[in-house]
């Protein structure tokens, strides 16, 4: 039969590459926000993924719909791409463009209207901000160049593109006086003017060189400084008191293993040993000790001679 020779239509459940995308944020690294102004970058990244997964016809009216996809499959793919848009824009933009039953192309056009609205006013504001960009307002050269590139992209979004040469000249004019003069003069005198990427690399290398030079200068300054004096050594007994009458002349009263302040020795036995034999509150003269040593032992039962209260004369043997 003739009908048996006809080619059957493709099944409606044919696998599509877009089905394999689990998380679109892994492929589109930025989140579109109206304040950041990264619309051009977001559009470029979204176009790349739409082309790679064969759904470009959902966001570009000039691309015809594939003939081998039935209505059910196309509707499913449109819902997937719609989820990609909602997942990669801010919550404020989601509420701004959301419309029940809208197709991906309708949401795409709404986003374009949001970022292209009031083009002239936004262009004036961005142009002024671009011309007033200065390196001193950023932590390093990389952030400074990033801001210039971002403002240039925002100006392109409002139909006011910035040439590569103008970006390089703005980069040079925003440098502080006295810094990067050599590299700035080299770039300004080069014909044709280097690209923005090449000029950025030259300034980043110069920044690295200056940073290492400053680091070596600090190390040399530290090496020239004299070494600190050695710490004062202290005795094991913390310089305890050894003065007359048990008063220490140094700072060394030992209490609980720690020296503290001035004062009397805390151990009376050590005070007596260090000061020698005492009579009352005064130390006996040396001739008394010699006399006692030469005197024979007294008999048991005899009371000792009382200590004289008047001045004593030296004993002469």
262-315 per-position pLDDT tens digit: 444 445 444 444 444 444 445 556 655 665 666 555 555 555 555 555 555 554
Strand 278-279 to 258-259 pairing:
unpaired
End position of a domain, from candidates 214, 243, 266? 214
Residue 301 forms part of a structural domain: no
End position of a domain, from candidates 91, 116, 141? 116
Cα 252 to Cα 222: distance, rounded to the nearest angstrom: 38
Peptide bond into 192 cis (omega under 30): yes
Q: What angle do CA 237, 239, 245 make, to 5 degrees?
A: 110
Residue 152 forms part of a structural domain: yes
171 Cβ neighbours under 8 A, 6+ residues apart:
144, 145, 148, 196, 199, 200, 203
Residue 60 forms part of a structural domain: yes
Query: Does 45 score more than 90 pLDDT?
Result: yes
Of 6-15, 34-43, 77-86, 233-242, give the range with the top mean pLDDT.
77-86
Buried b (16+ CB within 10 A) or exposed e, 16-49: bebeebeebeeebeeebeeeebbbbbbbebbeeb
What's the pTM value of the predicted model, to 2 decimals?
0.54
Alpha carbon separation from 109 to 88, 114, 153 (Å, rounded)? 16, 9, 19
Residue 231 forms part of a structural domain: no
Percent of the chain exceeding pLDDT 70 equals 64
118 Cβ neighbours under 8 A, 6+ residues apart:
none
Cα 122 to Cα 136: distance, rounded to the nearest angstrom: 25
End position of a domain, from candidates 160, 184, 214? 214
Cα 255 to Cα 241: distance, rounded to the nearest angstrom: 12
Q: Which residue has the higher pLDDT, 101 or 243?
A: 101
Cα 81 to Cα 46: distance, rounded to the nearest angstrom: 10
Residue 164: domain span: 119-214
Cα 158 to Cα 23: distance, rounded to the nearest angstrom: 31
């Amino acid at each position: 039969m003739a009908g048996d020779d006809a080619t059957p239509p493709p099944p409606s459940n044919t696998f599509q590459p877009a089905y394999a995308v689990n998380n679109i944020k892994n492929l589109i690294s930025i989140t579109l926000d109206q304040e950041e102004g990264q619309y051009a970058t977001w559009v470029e990244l979204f176009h790349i993924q739409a082309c790679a997964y064969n759904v470009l016809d959902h966001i570009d009216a000039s691309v015809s719909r594939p003939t081998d996809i039935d209505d059910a499959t196309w509707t499913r793919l449109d819902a997937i791409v719609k989820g990609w848009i909602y997942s990669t824009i801010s919550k404020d933009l989601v509420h701004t463009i959301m419309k029940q039953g809208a197709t991906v192309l309708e949401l795409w056009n709404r986003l374009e209207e949001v970022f292209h609205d009031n083009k002239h006013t936004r262009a004036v504001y961005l142009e002024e901000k671009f011309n007033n960009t200065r390196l001193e307002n950023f932590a390093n050269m990389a952030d400074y160049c990033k801001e210039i590139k971002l403002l240039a992209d925002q100006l392109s979004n409002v139909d006011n593109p910035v040439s590569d040469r103008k970006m390089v000249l703005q980069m040079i004019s925003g440098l502080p006086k006295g810094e990067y003069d050599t590299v700035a003069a080299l770039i300004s005198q080069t014909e044709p003017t280097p690209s923005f990427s090449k000029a950025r690399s030259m300034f980043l290398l110069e920044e690295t060189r200056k940073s290492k030079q400053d680091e070596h200068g600090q190390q040399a300054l530290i090496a020239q400084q004299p070494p600190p004096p050695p710490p004062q050594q202290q005795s094991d007994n913390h310089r305890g008191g050894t003065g007359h009458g048990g008063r220490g002349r140094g700072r060394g009263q030992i209490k609980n293993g720690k020296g503290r302040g001035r004062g009397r020795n805390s151990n009376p036995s050590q005070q007596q040993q260090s000061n020698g034999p005492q009579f009352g509150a005064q130390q006996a003269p040396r001739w008394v000790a010699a006399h006692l040593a030469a005197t024979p032992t007294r008999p048991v039962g005899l009371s000792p001679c009382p200590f004289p209260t008047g001045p004593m004369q030296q004993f002469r043997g």
